[in-house]
Amino acid sequence: MNRHTKIAIFVAPILLLGGYIASDYYLEHQAAQNRVFQLVPEGHCDVINEKCVLKAGDFKINVFDRRGSTSVNSTFPIDRAAFFIVDSEQEVESYQLAMGETPYYWSRLTTLRERIANKGAKQKLRVIIEIKGGKYISEFYTQTVR
């Protein structure tokens, strides 16, 4: 075995390990960049009857209201969540949601149930979810079916 082969055998594992560490840093840096994704409703949204799922790729959130507390639960842990009720004059009521027992569940008391308690009532809503620098946003309508 010549000298060049011995050096290559010695240096190759070091380069392999260095490349692995460098690629990990690069991917972590890419994941932390600010990005915006649109959440789209899966079918009809009825927040009062707990049938409103929004999705963007593998990420899904469920928006529902129980006894005046509007909640969001998700498939991935959330860093921050905001909920907005938009009236007919485009006036916005904003609510910063608070984390529940885990970062998958967020909720807050809102006036949503008062606005759409009756069958057929329709309301425009907005949601902004933040996860590791990525923002997931949606503007959608909820309509009470029963």
Closest to 86 in 3D by CA, of 145, 146, 138, 144: 138
The number of distinct structural domains making up the chain is 2
Please state, in angstroms and rounded to a whole number, the distance separating the CA atoms of residues 100 and 13.
46
User: Going along 53-143, which residue ranges are E strands?
Assistant: 53-56, 59-66, 69-74, 80-86, 92-96, 98-99, 105-109, 122-131, 134-143
d(Cα 15, Cα 19) in Å, to the nearest integer?
Answer: 6
Q: Are residues 17 and 75 in the same domain?
A: no
Residue 95 backbone dihedrals phi, psi, to 5 degrees = -135, 120
Residues 12 and 83 in one domain: no
Give the DSSP letter string of 87-102. Answer: -TT--EEEEE-EE-SS
92 and 138 inside one domain: yes
Show the domain range for 110. 35-143
pLDDT (tens place) for every residue of the chain, 146 residues total: 889 998 989 899 999 999 999 999 998 887 777 789 999 999 999 999 899 999 999 999 999 999 889 999 999 999 999 999 998 888 899 999 999 999 999 999 999 988 888 888 889 999 999 988 789 999 999 998 87
Which 8-state DSSP code applies to residue 50?
A: T
Whether 77 contacts 83, CB under 8 Å: no
